[in-house]
Amino acid sequence: MSGYSAADLANLPTLSIASIQALGKINSFSNEQLTKIVEKIGTIDTDKLSVMGNLACGLSQTQINLINDTEFGNNIKAMSLINMANCPSIGMLYTKAIKSFGLSKAKRQVRQVSTTTIDSSVLSEIGSVVAGMSSTDFQNLDSRSIQTISSSTWSMMPASLINSMTRTQISSLSNDQLTSILNNPNAGSYSSTITQLMANAATNVDITRSDVVPDVSVIPKSNSANVKFNSLILFSMVLCVLISAF
């Protein structure tokens, strides 16, 4: 998306629903580009919210606050498909999602103590928006909840949440989840300990033992050819949207 500056995008007319939907599938916009595109969406209504996809990452706190909680909750499935690593508004979207479900429904007591965690059924519904959790809330998730999080969500999870994981949480991850975590664009910001524990878990080492010596010799690699191909597709999609807009 480097071929389109924020100034170029600022010259777009108000976007149609079809254009919003097409642009919402792209996950490589810069923060500045997102801001300029969202300015061209206008008032956020149900129709637009349902197709925004990754463009929701460009919503401000004010814009999110103006969305009715019920309306937001009804469109949570659309929000759950966000796949942009380092989505600027993910924390605000998560807070809004939990509010739209009602805190009493979304959170449950853990072992009858004061700690609360997000119910796994709610995690299933909010999808990738779970990436907006605080590190403290994330660390309170039990194994069942950890297993509920999809591989696609793990592939965009902020490093701060990955670094907060406990050994028990890591040991509950599936091979697909581990591969997504290790190939996450934010993997370079993982702590060395977490990276090592993930690598050991991927090779079926019992990392819950304190005497385990981490081994990072086997870490799944992503397919660079696929990444380049996907980038070409995204570039073509935006070019079509820009041409049709004029």
Identify whether 1 is part of a domain: no
Identify whether 83 is part of a domain: yes
Instruction: Look at residue 232 in the predicted model and tell me its pLDDT.
Output: 55
Instruction: Look at residue 100 in the predicted model and tell me its pLDDT.
Output: 87
Structural domains of the chain, count: 1
The answer to whether residues 58 and 84 touch, using CB atoms and an 8 Å cutoff, is no
Instruction: Look at residue 242 in the predicted model and tell me its pLDDT.
Output: 54
Instruction: Look at residue 5 in the predicted model and tell me its pLDDT.
Output: 76
**What's the one-letter identity of residue 161?**
L
Identify whether 183 is part of a domain: yes
246 residues of the chain, pLDDT tens digit each:
446 777 777 788 889 999 999 999 999 889 999 999 999 998 899 999 999 999 999 999 999 999 999 999 888 888 888 999 889 999 999 999 988 877 655 555 444 444 567 777 888 888 899 999 999 999 999 998 999 999 999 999 999 999 999 999 999 999 999 999 999 999 999 999 999 999 999 888 676 665 555 544 444 444 444 445 455 555 565 555 556 655
Could you tell me the residue range of the domain that residue 213 belongs to?
6-245
Instruction: Look at residue 240 in the predicted model and tell me its pLDDT.
Output: 59
Instruction: Look at residue 13 in the predicted model and tell me its pLDDT.
Output: 86
Identify whether 185 is part of a domain: yes
Is residue 118 helix, strand or coil?
strand
All residues at 6 or more sequence positions from 173 whose CB lies less than 8 Å from its CB, including other chains = 146, 147, 181, 201
Instruction: Look at residue 56 in the predicted model and tell me its pLDDT.
Output: 95
Instruction: Look at residue 11 in the predicted model and tell me its pLDDT.
Output: 80
What DSSP state is assigned to residue 174? -
Instruction: Name which of 13, 16, 64, 54 is nearest 34 in CA terms.
Output: 54
Give the integer Cα–Cα distance in Å for 201 and 119: 25
pTM of the model: 0.76
Instruction: Look at residue 114 in the predicted model and tell me its pLDDT.
Output: 45
Instruction: Look at residue 124 in the predicted model and tell me its pLDDT.
Output: 84
Instruction: Name which of 204, 197, 194, 195 is nearest 174 in CA terms.
Output: 204
